[in-house]
């Protein structure tokens, strides 16, 4: 292409300047500037525009008879068809548009033809080049050093666009059994000068040398991007801790009930099923404590345990809604009755200082059950209210019995707000639109699943934890609570059973 263009430009002497022509002072004189438009290196996903000017410096009208373009990737923009007259002292701007073809350089010429007797043809030369994306992988080679067997170690990873055109990362593959990679969802476009971040992961499974390779497929014209990793797996020590399943692990449950009139049937159903609920709880423990709150100030309507006389009746009276002429209106008929997250916060945070003092027990999960056929209408966000409750009850779990998401049902609006609290705390979101039988089992299960919590002395690498009950390893039925450094076992477990937790400590992963 370059040879062709040079040949075209070499013929420009034919555009010619003829200083011997005798022209009187009444002639038009064309002045074209600049003589060259240099677009430089430009992005391929944009159209770039530059302007040259044709001025009449003579004393008679100048007629621009035509603009002849010989070029690749260039176009004239906004040019009038046919001839154009320019009066003395006036000028006309000509816009040239450049749409780069990826991976190429562009050359061209525009010839301005006019009735200037001295310069009937004047060239304007055009040059440009397409920008290219340029992938840089950081680090290009990383040595993880010695890492404990089964210990996952991470190294920050950046995919950087050092070029001038958008870089499209199409796929990333990590080769090497002990290595992994974490990145945002692909494909992804990276603008010039920007990057995306991820992580390289090294998890040696044996005590030996390991090598890996990261392969990045993109639109970088240089082709496949490659970065290397090496590391050595070394044996590590493990810690074992032994626990015994206690008798009667404590369980604390708070029911927050919407007291609006539309809730009468649901409150009745909850009261009718409470006996079944407690029977499920007592299969594991007798150290349960249950409270009900409906009032704006958060003070409990009732607070019962297995020692409370006739506790089923106490619970039923607290949750039922009394309506009709002359009926007693419970305190829960307040401004916040459809703001159960606010009421629960008041019960745990403010009430703990006075009317509800002693309900939240140290190192015990507090299971808050929110029952409403409306969305939560609290002024504060679910996240803020959950954080406030956690300041008093660090092991908070919130469950909700509320309207189906996203549209609710005939008898309930969607339980928005409550679903957020459930997601933040790992509780259960149950439908208020159906029968209550299964709900009682589910709510009891959530309460009991946090009953067995074993605090660990060391800080484990989560991926290395193994758990045995009476000598038999179990792969499910437990989770590691990193925030509290505890192993949480699902109920039921045999009373007196020996639980052994074995793990590698985080300090042992890199000797």
Nearest in space to 344 (alpha carbons), one of 300, 312, 304, 303: 300
Query: pLDDT tens, 137-163?
Result: 999 999 999 888 888 899 999 999 999
Query: pLDDT tens, 120-140?
Result: 999 999 999 999 999 999 999
Beta-strand relationship, 209-218 and 225-234: antiparallel
The residue among 202 and 77 whose pLDDT is bigger is: 202
* Residue 380: pLDDT over 60: yes
Q: What is the pLDDT of residue 18?
A: 42
Per-residue pLDDT, averaged over 213-221, amounts to 95
Phi, psi of 322 (to 5 degrees): -95, 115
Phi, psi of 19 (to 5 degrees): -65, -10
Query: pLDDT tens, 406-434?
Result: 988 988 999 999 999 999 998 999 999 88
* Residue 165: pLDDT over 60: yes
Per-residue pLDDT, averaged over 472-493, amounts to 87
Q: What is the pLDDT of residue 12?
A: 40
Residue 310 class from Cβ within 10 Å (0-12 exposed, 13-18 middle, 19+ buried)?
exposed
Residue 476 class from Cβ within 10 Å (0-12 exposed, 13-18 middle, 19+ buried)?
exposed
Per-residue pLDDT, averaged over 446-474, amounts to 87
Alpha-carbon distance of 511 to 508, in angstroms, equals 6
Q: Decide: pTM greater than 0.85.
A: no
DSSP 327: P
Contact 125, 106 (CB under 8 A): no
Query: pLDDT tens, 8-21?
Result: 333 344 444 444 44
Q: Binning pLDDT at 50, 70 and 90, where does residue 229 land?
A: very high
Residue 2 host element (H or E): helix 2-10
The two three-digit tokens of residue 174, written as one number: 């990590």
Domains and CATH numbers, the chain: 2-130 (2.60.40.10), 135-234 (2.60.40.10), 239-245+453-508 (no CATH), 251-451 (3.40.50.410)
CA 424 to chain centre: 15
Query: pLDDT tens, 90-104?
Result: 999 999 999 999 888
Q: Binning pLDDT at 50, 70 and 90, where does residue 365 land?
A: confident
Nearest in space to 9 (alpha carbons), one of 95, 111, 130, 117: 111
Query: pLDDT tens, 398-408?
Result: 999 999 999 88
Q: What is the pLDDT of residue 334?
A: 57
Contact 83, 39 (CB under 8 A): no
The two three-digit tokens of residue 73, written as one number: 């990737």
Contact 215, 137 (CB under 8 A): no
Query: pLDDT tens, 276-322?
Result: 999 989 888 899 999 999 888 889 999 999 999 999 999 989 888 75
Alpha-carbon distance of 141 to 284, in angstroms, equals 55
Contact 308, 274 (CB under 8 A): no
Contact 324, 371 (CB under 8 A): no
Q: How much is the mean pLDDT over the chain?
A: 87
* Residue 23: pLDDT over 60: no
Region of 78 (left: φ > 0; alpha: ψ -120 to 50; beta: rest) is: left
Q: Binning pLDDT at 50, 70 and 90, where does residue 511 land?
A: low
Q: Binning pLDDT at 50, 70 and 90, where does residue 506 land?
A: low
Peptide bond before 139: cis, by omega within 30 degrees of 0? Answer: yes
Q: What is the pLDDT of residue 13?
A: 40
CA 393 to chain centre: 28
The two three-digit tokens of residue 402, written as one number: 């509320």
Terminal-residue alpha carbon distance, the chain: 61
């Amino acid at each position: 292409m370059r040879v062709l263009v040079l040949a075209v430009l070499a013929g420009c002497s034919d555009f010619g300047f003829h200083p011997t022509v005798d022209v009187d002072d009444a002639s038009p004189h064309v002045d074209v500037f600049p003589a060259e438009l240099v677009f430089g290196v430009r992005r391929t996903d944009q159209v770039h525009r530059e302007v040259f000017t044709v001025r009449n410096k003579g004393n008679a009208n100048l007629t621009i008879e035509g603009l002849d373009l010989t070029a690749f990737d260039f176009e004239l923009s906004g040019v009038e068809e046919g001839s154009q007259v320019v009066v003395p002292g006036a000028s006309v701007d000509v816009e040239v548009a450049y749409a780069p073809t990826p991976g190429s350089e562009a050359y061209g010429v525009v010839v301005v033809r006019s009735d200037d007797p001295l310069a009937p043809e004047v060239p304007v030369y055009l040059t440009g080049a397409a920008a290219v994306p340029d992938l840089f992988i950081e680090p290009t080679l990383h040595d993880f050093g010695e890492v404990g067997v089964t210990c996952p170690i991470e190294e920050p990873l950046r995919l950087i666009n050092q070029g001038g055109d958008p870089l499209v990362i199409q796929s990333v593959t990590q080769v090497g059994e002990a290595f992994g990679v974490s990145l945002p969802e692909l494909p992804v476009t990276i603008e010039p000068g920007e990057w995306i971040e991820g992580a390289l992961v090294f998890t040696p499974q044996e005590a030996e040398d390991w090598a890996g390779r990261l392969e990045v497929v993109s639109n970088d014209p240089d082709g496949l991007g490659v970065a290397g990793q090496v590391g050595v797996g070394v044996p590590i020590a493990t810690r074992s801790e032994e626990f015994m399943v206690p008798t009667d692990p404590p369980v604390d449950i708070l029911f927050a009930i919407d007291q609006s009139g539309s809730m009468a049937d649901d409150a009745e159903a909850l009261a009718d099923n409470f006996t079944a609920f407690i029977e499920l709880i007592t299969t594991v423990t007798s150290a349960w404590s249950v409270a009900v709150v409906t009032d704006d100030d958060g003070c409990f309507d009732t607070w019962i345990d297995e020692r409370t006389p006739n506790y089923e009746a106490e619970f039923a009276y607290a949750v039922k809604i009394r309506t009709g002429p002359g009926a007693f209106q419970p305190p829960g008929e307040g401004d916040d009755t459809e703001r159960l997250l606010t009421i629960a916060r008041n019960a745990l945070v403010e009430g703990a200082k006075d009317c509800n003092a002693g309900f939240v027990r140290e190192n015990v999960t507090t299971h808050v059950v929110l029952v409403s056929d409306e969305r939560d209408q609290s002024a504060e966000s679910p996240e803020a209210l959950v954080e406030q409750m956690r300041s008093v009850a660090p092991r908070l779990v919130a469950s909700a019995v509320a309207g189906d998401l996203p549209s609710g049902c005939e008898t309930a609006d969607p339980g928005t707000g409550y679903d957020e609290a459930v997601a933040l705390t790992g509780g259960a979101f149950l439908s208020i639109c159906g029968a209550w039988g299964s709900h009682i089992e589910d709510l009891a299960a959530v309460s009991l699943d946090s009953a067995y919590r074993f605090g660990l002395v060391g800080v484990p690498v989560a991926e290395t934890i193994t758990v045995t009950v009476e000598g038999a390893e179990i792969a499910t039925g437990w989770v590691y609570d990193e925030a509290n450094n505890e192993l949480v076992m699902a109920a039921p477990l045999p009373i007196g059973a020996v639980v052994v937790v074995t793990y590698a400590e985080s300090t042992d992963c890199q000797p």
